[in-house]
Amino acid sequence: MAITKEHELHKRRRSRNVGLGLTLGAFIAIVFGMTMVKVSSGDFAMRPTENSTVIDSGGSADGD
């Protein structure tokens, strides 16, 4: 128990901080969940675009 009485302004600030913390935690949980679903589905590889070239990592650049 505190020696001095807590001011009403501090109570409102604390409740606002708790609400913001819960909102941030929910956002992090949603992003984490979406990431886990994306990775577990195996569809997380980048797809090549029209202007990109495919590089074969198994050989050298000059075809040897």
The rounded Cα 8 to chain-centroid distance in angstroms is 35
**In this model, does residue 64 exceed pLDDT 60?**
no
Instruction: Characterise 44 by phi-psi region: left (phi > 0), alpha (psi -120 to 50), beta (else).
Output: alpha
As a whole number, mean pLDDT of residues 1-18 equals 84
CA distances (Å), origin 63, targets 10, 39, 52: 70, 33, 19
**In this model, does residue 62 exceed pLDDT 70?**
no
* pLDDT 10s digits, 16-58: 999 999 999 999 999 999 999 988 887 666 666 776 666 666 6
